[in-house]
Amino acid sequence: MATIHLMVGFMGFGKTTIAKELEKKLSAVRLTHDEYMVKLYGRNMPYEDFHINYDKVDEVLWDLAQKIIATGTDVIMDYGFWNHEVREKAYNRAKKITDNVVFHNVFCDMQTAKQRILKRSAENQDELYIREDEFDTLAKQYQPWDCMDDYPVVLHNLPNTKYIGQIVHVKIDRPLGSKHPKHGFEYKVNYGFIPYTKSGDGEELDAYVLMEDKPLKEYVGRCIAVVHRTDDDDDKLIVVPESYDLADEIIEEDIAFQEKWFKHILLRDPCVTKAHFGVYGSIIKDDKILLIKKARGPYTGMYDLPGGSQEKGESYADTLKREIKEETGCEVVKAENERHKTIIFADFTPQSGEKGVLQHEAVLYDVKISGTPRATGDGLDSGGAVWVKIADLSDKNATPYALMAAGKPLIALADKDDDIIGTQLRGTPLKEGRFVMIAAVLLFNSKNELVLQKIAAHKKWGGLWTYSAAGHVDAGEDYEDAAKRELKEEMGIDAKIKYQIAAFPVVRDGKQVAFHHVFVAQSDGEIVPDKNEVAEVRRVSLPELYKEIAQHPELFFNEFLEAINQYREKIDEQVYIR
């Protein structure tokens, strides 16, 4: 059955350019609304006539689309569909004509779009005439594609991470159980591509379809992650049933049959516009750390750990030895304490000059070296190696990984949508639009008794009863990572997190300052509280707790009360912990 393609984007975004490319590629019929308006009514019709004429053309083009689809030919509705309501109506109308409907969301910044429209209006007599003030007024009516637009979509002029959270249509050309045509390995999941897209290798964007146990020909589901290959310019989408999600380790297990041959990282944040992976060494001697002065990239001019990207065929150890030799002139004698970290770096500015968000994943080692560090640069990344006093490091002169290796208290920050967007040293003033991330845990035992802690008297909010454990999300962690760590640090308990029970913004003095995520864990293990953090610990049944809160809410930490309210709304206490 033929497909209706619905082009989404504001004027000047480049919709018609892409629509023309699709028209040629698919041998489709393109119906560009503006072209018909100009041919029938001129390029500068009176404002009061515009909507009447628009609706007339609209009816003609939809009738024409229905007749074209009946012939088995694809139709491209090159309109714009500026808001959620219009997109919903267009989708429903198209579905009455054919089951195959897909949106094409075209992105462009408004300033570039305005420049294009004003130039076009001045020079091209075949285009609708738009004044600058008209553009500015109409721009306020445009609603970008977002989570409210729950339809199959192809994204244009956007990084592949923008597919995360979106509904996509996958054509399966290598179904479950089939063999790779060249290498002969078996496909353990359904594998295909997103039609009408283009990946870094020039082919259509590939996708793994997970959680389906039979061979498929096509599939509509939600993208939950992007596999970004660090040694191959070919991203892959991870697609699952619409209402599901999967942990990273499950995804990695399911795609290992093919991805084990490639170095890659999983991207889960739609804000990310670029990803980087490297191996780095932390070299500390007394009160100093060996760092390089960055000569290029987003951290130019700052102190950074020696290290860098893997080359093809290298192990982590190979990369570490080569990079430290190249950047410092020293030999690696010993490398230990391997740990994997992820930093989200906002306001990343690549060579294109357009700001974005960098996901920087790293493998870190504690390293011993031999030789004298070289003060001159390597002509590439390093401007020279230097021993720097740890006390002199700040987020003004050192990269997040350098600060992390030096033991500085670096915390993660969220944006207004509660996505990790950057880092900063604990205790420094927050930038506008940046929020502290707090992870908290409600620890139950097998009797369904909740562990409460009283905050130590010398701490802020000292003397109040609160969560079993809570604290900042550190750089390189997510909320769940931080919850596990805080529980271990404050209560001495290694417990499995069962699930998240609450999430909410924290507002103080009329201004949002943080996000709280609250998790539930279970353990009957011995509690060994950190006496510097915790004044007292007790276990309480939920009915007893509810009664205490009703009688004396002033004895409890404010955010804890909010978490308990959300808990009571969502979970029946009799069946919650089993």
Rounded mean pLDDT, 314-326: 92
pLDDT at 159 (0 to 100):
78
Examine the pLDDT at 574 and tell me if it is beyond 50: no
Examine the pLDDT at 368 and tell me if it is beyond 80: yes
Give residue for tokens 């190696």: 385
pLDDT at 144 (0 to 100):
86
- What are 447-504's pLDDT values in tens digits? 999 999 999 999 989 999 999 999 999 988 889 889 999 999 999 999 888 888 888 9
Residue with the larger pLDDT of the pair 290 and 426: 290
Examine the pLDDT at 216 and tell me if it is beyond 90: yes
pLDDT at 575 (0 to 100):
34
d(CA 411, CA 401) in angstroms, rounded, equals 12
Rounded mean pLDDT, 397-407: 92
The count of other CB atoms within 10 Å of the CB of residue 334 is 10
Examine the pLDDT at 46 and tell me if it is beyond 80: no
The three-class DSSP label of residue 344 is strand
What are the distances in angstroms from CA 447 to CA 167, 218, 467, 526, 538?
Answer: 42, 48, 18, 15, 14
pLDDT at 510 (0 to 100):
86
Work out the mean pLDDT of the chain and round it to a whole number.
88
pLDDT at 319 (0 to 100):
92
d(CA 405, CA 289) in angstroms, rounded, equals 9
Instruction: Give the pLDDT band (50/70/90) at residue 243.
Output: confident
Instruction: Give the pLDDT band (50/70/90) at residue 578.
Output: very low
Rounded mean pLDDT, 85-92: 93
pLDDT at 342 (0 to 100):
81
Rounded mean pLDDT, 540-544: 93
Instruction: Give the pLDDT band (50/70/90) at residue 356.
Output: low
Examine the pLDDT at 20 and tell me if it is beyond 50: yes
Both tokens of 318, joined, read: 């190979």
Rounded mean pLDDT, 228-244: 85
Examine the pLDDT at 110 and tell me if it is beyond 50: yes
SS3 for 185-221 is CECCCEEEECCCCCCCCCCCCEEEECCCCCCCCEEEE
Q: Which of 127-136, 304-313, 567-576 has the lowest mean pLDDT?
A: 567-576
Examine the pLDDT at 553 and tell me if it is beyond 80: yes
d(CA 341, CA 364) in angstroms, rounded, equals 8
Is pTM beyond 0.95 here?
A: no
Examine the pLDDT at 147 and tell me if it is beyond 70: no
Examine the pLDDT at 42 and tell me if it is beyond 90: no
Examine the pLDDT at 351 and tell me if it is beyond 70: no
Most confident of the ranges 230-244, 308-322, 534-548? 534-548
CA angle 323, 327, 328 (to 5 degrees): 110
403: which DSSP letter? H
Instruction: Give the pLDDT band (50/70/90) at residue 161.
Output: confident
- Give the contacts of 436 (CB within 8 A, at least 6 positions apart): 411, 413, 414, 430, 472, 513, 514, 515
Examine the pLDDT at 224 and tell me if it is beyond 70: yes
Most confident of the ranges 10-19, 77-86, 185-194? 185-194
No. of helices (H) and no. of strands (E), the chain: 12, 28
Examine the pLDDT at 371 and tell me if it is beyond 80: yes
% pLDDT > 70, the chain? 95
Rounded mean pLDDT, 47-53: 75
Both tokens of 569, joined, read: 């709304």
CATH numbers and ranges of domains, the chain: 3-156 (3.40.50.300), 160-267 (3.90.80.10), 274-408 (3.90.79.10), 435-570 (3.90.79.10)
pLDDT at 88 (0 to 100):
93
pLDDT at 6 (0 to 100):
96
Asked if 570 contacts 501 with a C-beta cutoff of 8 angstroms, the reply is yes
pLDDT at 577 (0 to 100):
33
Rounded (to 5) percent helix, strand, coil in the chain? 25, 35, 40
pLDDT at 380 (0 to 100):
80
Asked if 359 contacts 342 with a C-beta cutoff of 8 angstroms, the reply is yes
Instruction: Give the pLDDT band (50/70/90) at residue 265.
Output: confident
Examine the pLDDT at 58 and tell me if it is beyond 60: yes
d(CA 148, CA 85) in angstroms, rounded, equals 10
Instruction: Give the pLDDT band (50/70/90) at residue 355.
Output: low
- What are 511-522's pLDDT values in tens digits? 899 999 999 999
Instruction: Give the pLDDT band (50/70/90) at residue 352.
Output: very low
pLDDT at 566 (0 to 100):
85
- What are 189-212's pLDDT values in tens digits? 999 999 988 887 778 999 999 999
The count of other CB atoms within 10 Å of the CB of residue 117 is 24
Instruction: Give the pLDDT band (50/70/90) at residue 576.
Output: very low
Rounded mean pLDDT, 406-412: 91
Give residue for tokens 């357009």: 354
Both tokens of 267, joined, read: 């991207």
